[in-house]
Amino acid sequence: QCVVKIVQEKLLTPFGLRSLAPEDPDYRKVYHGNPIERDSAYHQGTVWAWLMGPFVDAYLNAFGTSSASLNYLKSLLEPFKSHLREAMLGSISEIFDGQPPHTPRGCGAQAWSVAEVLRAYQKIKHYDSHSMG
């Protein structure tokens, strides 16, 4: 539970997990610039949407499948619903800036982002349907 709480506090954003905490001296809050500048920011604070799947797994392992846990996790996936209508229609971007407003960057339609968010949604739905019956 302690690790999940630290990840929530330091890395969790509305679009996934940051690759580095903002207080780290090497943290880069936005992914922009020429190729060298972008490459230096790629794993230095950029938000990765696909990491929402492993975060959901870790949260469920740490805190269980209570209604409160499931409702919290469902709320974490809500921002992706609007994102599906924004960057690449019907898909999820590869990465997002580490700093709000978490502008989508990189590939506009990233298979592993879609796959992990969908897998997380299905897992939550599975536990939610079992808790109702």
Look at residues 127, 121, 17 and name the one whose alpha carbon lies nearest to residue 75: 121
Question: Residue 87: what pLDDT?
Answer: 78
13-44, pLDDT tens digit by residue?
999 999 999 999 999 999 988 888 888 888 99
Q: Interhelix angle for 52-63 vs 2-10, to 10°?
A: 140
In this model, does residue 104 exceed pLDDT 70?
A: yes
Question: Residue 131: what pLDDT?
Answer: 63
At 43, which amino acid appears? H
Task: Say what the pTM is.
Answer: 0.92
Residue 44 gets which letter from DSSP? Answer: T
Question: Residue 122: what pLDDT?
Answer: 97
Q: Which residue(s) pair with 6 in the sheet?
A: none
Would you state the structure tokens that stand for residue 10, as one six-digit string? 């330091």
50-83, pLDDT tens digit by residue?
999 999 999 999 999 999 999 999 999 999 999 9
